[in-house]
A and B are shown apart, each in its own frame.
Chain A
């Protein structure tokens, strides 16, 4: 069931939803949001695209293998623990840069960790969705 309207709309909705998911990720530290929700929203955005255009198109658009996104997320999350070890602090103590960036705000290892969570959740949701969808072909 291919719908032109949905397909066209999804092309414009996808970037918007992705931006929204980044927004959720970045504001998470001060306002409702965070890596987990952000990742889910991003996954939902791709899921919408997949519903509209089929799994093949969605996979092509994603470019990366979901399993690689999962590994990347986990890697980033683990890398975010290194600064605390180098500093000789307790494991996973937040290490912050003392500069306020525009838009992003303060940068520190918790934010990096959240990015890892974001990617991991995105990857997992997509992996499951794509695996299930691929099976039909």
Chain B
């Protein structure tokens, strides 16, 4: 399976090179790539359906327990098949849809990376690997939402989606780490049997909350739902793929996957149930005053995501069954409808439902596709959506306490979805023809073939549910709840209460549609206070963070070198002195104060030249003074038999003086900038640093320096490093990685210096 992932990333990388020469056929070529992955996984279908689990492991960082462990069971196979199947359709569609965009080749890179990471995520068994793929989907989603990066809105909402899901990702990471600390293992499947231990762990509630934040942000559950409708700024294939069929289901996948480990407590089940139910209802209500096709679909997606979350919260056998049927049905019809919305946008030039009407003659195939998908979305027999909704209702009804209450919420939410469906799937095609910005005509085959296939698949699945869903259903359910269950799936359950509810939903939905305009008037007069909008909380937090960043940059990075030095010195010295003065018995041995003649002379030279530096009235003199201090330091190194250091010091001092001279005559005339107050401050800081260093040196000379390390290096230098110069052997052999890091930093610094100087040059030339 690792091979498939690697092939995926490689294929994404070469996409631009194929795109340019073969632009007109690229849709077909691109679609073959998800198709290949789809078929590869489909070939494992029988194995999985028979109750086997395929596991593969490739070592990555075994010392930390981080490996590419892939696990294919019912749950992951279901997701992989959805991801790749919708992928085939979307890739083909995008080949035509993206043609007029600039840099469409990049689009295929991003979406290829996305699909591969999404597949990688659902088959990962290792939490860290899962997290890496999880973040990759967030990043590729960011790139895709912001694909029209010349639009400010695109950039803004791409960032919003990234910050929300990325923030959730951090929480998820923390949750994973806490979880792995309980058992010491990062493999999810190895934790299946530890549910008891995990539930009793003191960190259990923290784990649940952190992981749920991760899942809720990704799947846009209340109160993190706002990023999803905003993400509709993305090109339509992206909305169809990421923001309805696949990525937003990642959070739900995670909850399902973690159910074995964390499930069974009130905290877990009730949180999921309540948040899911809230999202289900409110998202459907929020859709009410939308006019944009994609926004309408986005809110209905939110509502469905809420329903799916709620089903996991219920957690009964029937609920899990409903979960799977509903997730498959939703991916099929919602992907299709998004693509239909894209076709309408592409072929008529508008996405505003109020401007679209009577197009059935111009887009007949699209009309049929839309109708099929819409019937599924509304839950009309014999489409798979019908089975989905029936099972959802019966799962809710099973709840003895809240059942009827939840059912009425679900009916209202679904009625609103019916209304949305009529608006999106029927209104544009029926009624009186309205003129559109572009003259309407049928879409090219690349664009209608995929959606039509998906819609027909929805019909077939409804008529033959056992063929398509039935076999895998048991195995999928075992991945979420451990009991083995004998689930049957059929289209017709007879005349019962649930069927009645389906009927009520439909008629309620149609009713709402007819009174929509009247209700809209009432709603528009209502003004919702900003405090109640989670998107405003996001804005508030973001603005707060930005102004704090500005504030602290102003204080800390104000552009005055002297202030930087003050900050660095004062922080370092005060922290280090705290540590130093905590040492008991600072001077165990009385320091040796006897000095030789040379040392005395050197000290005198240093003092004189320092005095010269601070009193001189010309920069050149100061620099010469500093140079003298440097060279004399070199002499100290020689006296104390450190020729390497001395050599380096001399070389550095020479170059420093040259550099200073070069900078020198670009600077303004030497003026006395310092006010007396500043001078006083500088004196205190300087003497503080000096005193600290003095104490430090005295302390170091008073402790025993014959460490093991010194002995090790001197002993192993010749046999191990084949060199007699211990300093150099340490630098290039024993601790060569440090050196490698340092020289890399140096190279980066050189580029930085160059860039800064270049920047100034450009400014001047303007």
Q: When the two chains form the complex, which single residue of B654, B724, B725, B737 contacts A91, counting CB atoms closer than 8 Å?
A: B737
The answer on a CB contact under 8 Å between B655 and A43 is: yes
* Contacting pair B746 A29 (CB below 8 A): no
Q: Which of B728, B743, B753 contacts A33 (CB 8 A)?
A: B728
Q: Is the CB of A131 within 8 A of B723?
A: no
User: Which of the segments A2-10, A56-64, A122-130 contacts the partner chain?
Assistant: A122-130
Q: Point out the residues of chain A lying under 8 angstroms from B651, CB to CB.
A: 37, 40-41, 44
Choose, from B156-164, B538-546, B569-577, B657-665, the stretch at the interface: B657-665
Whether the Cβ atoms of B725 and A77 lie closer than 8 Å is no
For chain B residues 691-728, which have a beta carbon within 8 Å of chain A? 720-725, 727-728
CB-CB < 8 A to A41: which residues of B?
Answer: 651
Q: Which chain A residues in 96-125 approach chain B with CB under 8 Å? A: 96, 106, 108, 110-111, 113-114, 116-117, 120-121, 123-125
Q: Is B639 an interface residue (CB 8 A)?
A: no
B52 within 8 A of A: no
Smallest Cβ-Cβ distance to A96: which chain B residue: B722
Asked if B739 CB lies within 8 Å of chain A CBs, one says yes
How far is the CB of B523 from the nearest CB of chain A, in Å?
62
A94 and B721 within 8 A (CB): yes
User: Is the CB–CB distance between B655 and A125 below 8 Å?
Assistant: yes
B644 interface residue (CB < 8 Å to A):
yes
Which of B643, B723, B732, B757 neighbours the largest number of chain A CB atoms within 10 Å of its CB? B732
Please tell me if the beta carbons of A128 and B644 are within 8 angstroms of each other in the complex.
no
Q: A67-B754, A120-B746, A135-B666 are in contact. Are A113 and B736 (CB under 8 A)?
A: yes
A127 to B747, CA, bound (A): 10
B385 to chain A, nearest CB (A): 55
B753 with A131: CB separation less than 8 A: yes
**A28 with B728, Cβ < 8 A, contacts A74-B744, A94-B722, A132-B757 known:** yes
Smallest CB separation, A51 vs chain B (Å): 7
> In this assembly, does A87 line the interface, its C-beta being within 8 Å of a C-beta of chain B?
no
Of A29, A71, A92, A128, which contacts B725 at CB under 8 A? A29
Q: A71–B753 Cα gap in the complex (Å)?
A: 15
Collect the chain A residues with CB atoms within 8 Å of residue B658's CB. 44, 47, 51, 129
Residues of A within 8 A of B720 (CB): 94
Q: A127 touching B647 by the CB < 8 A rule? A: no
Q: Is B731 an interface residue (CB 8 A)?
A: yes
Contacts of B760 in A (CB 8 A): 135
Bound: A127/B663 CA distance, A: 14
Q: Is the CB of B732 within 8 A of A34?
A: yes
Judged by a CB distance under 8 angstroms, whether B750 is at the interface is yes
Contacts of A127 on B, CB cut-off 8 Å? 750, 753-754
- Interface status of B686 (Cβ within 8 A of chain A): no
The docked-state distance in angstroms from the alpha carbon of A124 to that of B659 is 12
- Within A11-34, the residues touching B (CB, 8 Å) are 24, 28-34
Shortest Cβ gap from A84 to chain B (Å)? 10
Contact between chains at B643 and A32 (CB < 8 Å): yes
**Interfacial chain A residues near B659, Cβ < 8 Å:** 128-129, 132
B757 near A131: Cβ-Cβ < 8 Å = yes
B740 on interface, CB distance cutoff 8 Å: yes
Give the chain B neighbours of A120 by CB distance below 8 A. Answer: 743, 746-747
Nearest CB in chain A to that of B658: its residue: A47
Q: Are B722 and A132 in contact (CB under 8 A)?
A: no
A2 CB to nearest chain B CB (Å)? 16
In contact, A30 and B747 (Cβ under 8 angstroms): no
Complex CA gap A75/B603 in Å reads 43
* Contact between chains at B722 and A106 (CB < 8 Å): yes
Q: A33-B647, A35-B732, A129-B658 are in contact. Are A135 and B761 (CB under 8 A)?
A: yes
Asked if A74 contacts B648 (CB within 8 A), the reply is no
User: Quick check: is B352 within 8 A (CB to CB) of the other chain?
Assistant: no
- Is the beta-carbon distance between A110 and B732 smaller than 8 angstroms? yes
A30–B754 Cα gap in the complex (Å)?
36
Contacts of B267 in A (CB 8 A): none
B647 & A117 in contact (Cβ 8 Å cutoff) = no
B751 touches A67 (CB 8 A): yes
For residue B86, which residues in chain A have a CB less than 8 angstroms away from its CB? Answer: none
Q: Does B652 lie at the interface of the complex (its beta carbon under 8 Å from any beta carbon of A)?
A: yes
| Most A C-beta atoms less than 10 A away, residue of B736, B758, B760 | B736
Contact with A along B548-565 (1 / 0, CB 8 A): 000000000000000000
- In the complex, the answer to whether A30 meets B723 with C-beta atoms within 8 Å is yes
B606 sits at the interface (CB 8 A) = no
Distance in angstroms between the alpha carbons of A31 and B726 in the assembled complex: 9
**B504 in contact (CB, < 8 A):** no
Contact present for B733 and A94 (CB under 8 Å): yes
Residue in contact with A31 in the complex, picked from B724, B731, B750, CB distance below 8 Å: B724
Residue among A51, A77, A110 facing the most chain B CB atoms (10 A cut-off):
A110
Q: Are B724 and A30 in contact (CB under 8 A)?
A: yes
What's the minimum C-beta distance from A121 to chain B, rounded to whole angstroms?
7
Tell me whether A117 and B643 are in contact (CB under 8 A).
Answer: no
Q: Give residues of chain A (50-88) contacting chain B, Cβ–Cβ below 8 Å.
A: 51, 66-67, 70-71, 73-74, 77-78, 81
A110 lies within 8 A of B648 (CB): no
Structural contact, B754 and A117, CB atoms closer than 8 A: no
A127 to B662, CA, bound (A): 13
B729 within 8 A of A: yes
Residue ID in chain B nearest A38 by CB atoms: B651
A34 with B666, Cβ < 8 A, contacts A78-B740, A91-B737, A92-B737 known: no
In the bound complex, CA of A131 to CA of B659 (Å): 11
Q: Counting chain A CB atoms within 10 Å of each CB, which of B647, B652, B724 scores highest?
A: B647
Q: Are B644 and A92 in contact (CB under 8 A)?
A: no
Say whether B655 contacts A47, CB under 8 Å.
Answer: yes
Provide 29 A-B residue pairs closer than 8 Å at the C-beta atoms, listed in order of the A residue.
Answer: A29-B722, A29-B723, A30-B724, A32-B647, A33-B644, A35-B732, A36-B731, A40-B648, A47-B655, A51-B658, A67-B751, A74-B743, A92-B733, A94-B720, A96-B722, A110-B721, A110-B722, A110-B729, A110-B736, A117-B739, A120-B747, A121-B743, A128-B750, A128-B754, A131-B757, A132-B662, A133-B662, A135-B666, A135-B757
Known contacts A44-B654, A114-B728; can you find 7 more A-B pairs with CB under 8 A? A30-B725, A33-B728, A37-B644, A37-B651, A110-B729, A131-B754, A135-B760
Contact surface of A with B, Cβ cutoff 8 Å? 24, 28-37, 40-41, 43-44, 47, 51, 66-67, 70-71, 73-74, 77-78, 81, 91-92, 94, 96, 106, 108, 110-111, 113-114, 116-117, 120-121, 123-125, 127-129, 131-133, 135-136
